[in-house]
Amino acid sequence: MAIKVLKPGLATTVQDLGRPGYYHIGIPLSGGMDRHALAAANLLVGNPEGAAVLEAVFMGPELEFTEDATVAIAGAELPPKLDGEPRETWTSFKVRRGQILSFDFLKQGARGYIAVAGGIDVPVVLGSRSTYALGALGGFKGRKLEAGDELPVGKVAAAVKDGRTVTRDLRGQPAGMPTEVRAMPGLYWHRITEAAGNGFFSDTWKVAPEADRIGYRFKGGKSLEFVPREPPFGAGSDPSNITDACYPYGSIQVPGGTEPIVLHRDAVSGGGYFMVGTVIAADMDLIGQLQPNTPVRFVKVGMDQALAARKNRTELLGKLRTALA
Amino acid sequence: MQTRFSFGGDEHIFAEVGEAMSLEAFFKSLFVTNAVRDAKIKGVTEICPANASYQIKFDPDQIKPDDLLTELKRLDTGSEKSEPVIKTRIIEIPVLYNDPWTHETLMRFRERHQDPNGTDLEYAARINGLDGVDAFIKAHSSAPWFVSMVGFVAGLPFLYQMVERKRQLQAPKYLRPRTDTPKLTVGHGGCFSCIYSVRGAGGYQMFGITPMPIYDPNQKISYLRDFMCLFRPGDIVKWKPIDRVAYDAAVADVDAGRFAPIIRDVSFSLTEFNRDIDAYNRKLDGVLHGH
């Protein structure tokens, strides 16, 4: 069983839940940027929730199936079409041998997860099938899909019916505008003035065009004013420089104090820019669904709120598992 | 040295050993992260030493953030008693300085540079008070360098020059980062040199290129079959300036699977190093070349 890639979309990659354990040598987690949607797509077609799927960003691919299959698309509102006939997102459906899966224009969100029963069966590299394109590692030949690729599909573990769906309350997608992204101040927060810190959390930012799997850039807020200092040896002369250090996932660096960048799942593991804090783990999926120009507010939270949000997200996944058991 | 701790969201603890770079801060970050690894703390998923800091990633569903912080503080304080000695490796890296590929790239991005009328090497020589490119290459390659961090992208080493601070080479990053850097470029920013493991964006000054791959995701290169990244924090690097003929020969050897890098095991004592840096570096050179 294989899937032929007729058109690759914009930047479609194979992703699972990621590759922990190698960040200390610069190999990031990778994996789906919206893990909840990735798990939902898999559960809809009867896969283990961490099976490898296709992550399509902004634009869907065009795929031809060489055998019958069950598929589901979750995450962004990227409407699927089977031989030109519309199908639902968040719903499993059958594809017959020779049929072509394509997509209509993106209606909402940024990343659609295309799960196929059996999972995309590319080789496991360092414990994961996820693509880390910057390092040409994992996924399909270490890169985004190209026309002419043939993706292997694994054996179906347990066949499921088509027409299974995920109700709206279990989808975990961003709601309302501006999108609120919760973050804990910290790391090098002391480098900026109190007024700058307040401005960071009260300004409305917009997602910049430079938004990808490495990080999301934001613009439109006020520049951050720094607390004066003598540059420490090794840091560099710009007030936003630090002695090169590790970057947490979700950390918010602000090069030159102007445009914040939130690092995501293909994060560069370290570098020489100060960070004002870190987006909480529970809100990382939301960032993966933001389109350029989306207004965003960063909301200041503490550890207790971060852990409570984390618990809510885990419970949502629990309900999703129960609903699709 | 008093370590500053901060939570990086609900999944990371960030620890700044020193604001400024120093071998003392680096050694402490290496010792504490080794101690964290040995302690096999439940819920810890990533242990990342860096130049003068370190970072631990954890699963707060398995260990309470405050409990991990308490444990880290204990290990951080305890590491101060360790004798600053590490068992490590010294690795020779051949470099074609002033090569045509980084030259082409630096000319292409000249408007992003502090000195649009010169080259990166000419600029670095001038601002470090050295008499021309050859003197700079000599200063860059005569003493060894510590791998004080691996990261940014897969397998990229940050290197810290093993000389007195007043002799350390420094250079700012490009005014605006380049969108392209040749693979295996030897670069420099702040007080750190690096080797770009993959082609891509970069802001460091570009001095040369090594024929010796340091990252191979396909693990076909003989010395990268066991693991795809060559470098580990704590490795020591000695640059070996080579000419174009030697560079081409090395590339051919790599392609034919014949290239054997010079890598020797060595014990490094920070106390002895600080006592007489030049003598200690000569001793390291002896280990590398077997005399």
Q: How many beta carbons lie within 10 A of that of residue B285, not counting itself?
A: 16
Which secondary-structure segment (H or E) carries A72? Answer: strand A69-77
Say which of B7, B20, B61 has its CB closest to residue A234. B20
Q: Which of A277, A242, A272 is nearest to A262 (CA)?
A: A277
pLDDT in tens, B196-238: 999 988 889 999 999 999 999 999 999 999 999 999 999 999 9
Q: Is residue A251 predicted with pLDDT exceeding 80?
A: yes
pLDDT at A60: 98
Contact B152 A268 (CB under 8 A): yes
The whole-chain average pLDDT of chain A stands at 96
> What average pLDDT score do residues A275-283 get?
98
Which residues of chain A are within 8 Å of residue B217 when distances are taken between CB atoms? 125, 135-138, 142
B266 close contact with A: CB closer than 8 A:
no
pLDDT in tens, A38-74: 999 999 999 999 999 999 999 999 999 999 999 999 9
CA distance A316 to chain B (A): 15
Handedness of CA B262, B221, A129, A182 (dihedral sign): positive
Q: Considering only alpha carbons, which residue of chain B is nearest residue A275?
A: B8
CA distance B12 to A276: 14
B181 close contact with A: CB closer than 8 A:
no
pLDDT in tens, A252-273: 999 999 999 999 999 999 999 9
**Alpha helices, DSSP H, located in chain A:** 35-44, 194-202, 284-287, 303-323
pLDDT at A159: 82
CA distance B291 to chain A (A): 32
> What average pLDDT score do residues B169-178 get?
89
CA distance A156 to chain B (A): 28
pLDDT at B212: 97
A152 close contact with B: CB closer than 8 A:
no
CA distance B289 to B284: 9
> What average pLDDT score do residues B81-87 get?
87
CA distance B211 to B247: 6
Predicted TM-score (pTM) of the model is 0.96
pLDDT in tens, B238-258: 999 999 999 999 999 999 999
A104 close contact with B: CB closer than 8 A:
no
Q: Is residue A323 predicted with pLDDT exceeding 80?
A: yes
Look up tokens 């309470």; give the residue.
B64
pLDDT at B191: 94
Contact predicate B261/B95, CB 8 Å: no
Look up tokens 């066949």; give the residue.
A159
Q: Rounded to a whole number, what is the largest CA-CA distance in chain B? A: 58
CA distance A178 to A200: 15
pLDDT at B173: 87
Q: Is residue A238 predicted with pLDDT exceeding 90?
A: no
pLDDT in tens, A91-102: 999 999 999 999
Q: Complex ipTM, two decimals?
A: 0.96
DSSP readout, B223-260?
Answer: GGSS-SB---TT-EEEEEE--HHHHHHHHHHHHTT---
pLDDT at A322: 97
pLDDT at B53: 98
CA distance A313 to A176: 18
CA distance A291 to A71: 25
Look up tokens 């964006």; give the residue.
B201
pLDDT band at A157 (very low <50, low <70, confident <90, very high): confident
Cα–Cα distances in angstroms (integers) from residue A198 to residues A180, A203, A221, A298, A299, in the given order = 16, 9, 11, 11, 11
